Amino acid sequence: MGKNILIISTSLRKNSNSDALAEAFLSGANEAGHFVEKINIIGKSIDFCTGCLKCLNSHRCVIHDYADTVVQKMRKADVIVFATPIYYYEMSGQMKTLLDRANPLYGSDYSFRDVYILTTAAEYDSYVSKNAENGLKGWIECFPKATLKGSLFVGGVDLAGSITNNPKLSRAYEMGKQV
């Protein structure tokens, strides 16, 4: 049976490399017959978590911006896929902000079991993506029913669009197909 897959693409630039990975994953998952929604946060208004912790009781954020919308989608998805550029050996600030804003899910009902991360960076070495992966793992540890199911890093891509024709795009496609 098809799974509900939510792909959250967090780069803000046009012709984004990490978004190209997200698109390839989307094609693979569609091919396999899943229900896939891919969203990005370009032009969206997203505030930081203020740490008020009202969400621990209400399981809803008091800030009703686009992050709140994303979090409602996260709650219902079986699979969540994050795509992010590497910024200073870490996930993008915008992805981290979304993880923080997902605090209303903590200790509440959520459907997701499998989480994936797709990353791109200018440098080639795969260690460049490790902090981002570990950061996401730390978040996932707070959701005992979920695991990090896959991580794909594509290095050596800096300028927007430079991932075009990269053979690793097919790995993202395969990853999506095998969800």
- Binding to ligand FMN by residue 152, rule CB under 6 A? no
Identify whether the C-beta of residue 35 lies closer than 8 Å to the C-beta of residue 5. yes
| CB closer to ligand FMN, 18 vs 103 | 18
Distances (CA, A) of 142 to 106, 137, 138: 7, 9, 7
Q: How far is the CB of 95 from ligand FMN (least distance, A)?
A: 11
d(CA 129, CA 111): 27
Q: How far is the CB of 152 from ligand FMN (least distance, A)?
A: 13
> Which of 3, 5, 8, 16 touches ligand FMN (CB under 6 A)?
16
HSE (side-chain half, CA atoms, 13 Å) at 30: 10
| CB closer to ligand FMN, 18 vs 97 | 18
Footprint of ligand FMN on 85-114 (CB under 6 A): 85-89
Q: Strand ranges (DSSP E) for 14-127? A: 35-40, 79-85, 114-120
Q: For binding to ligand FMN (CB under 6 A), which residues are involved?
A: 11, 13, 16-19, 85-89, 120-123, 128, 157-158, 160
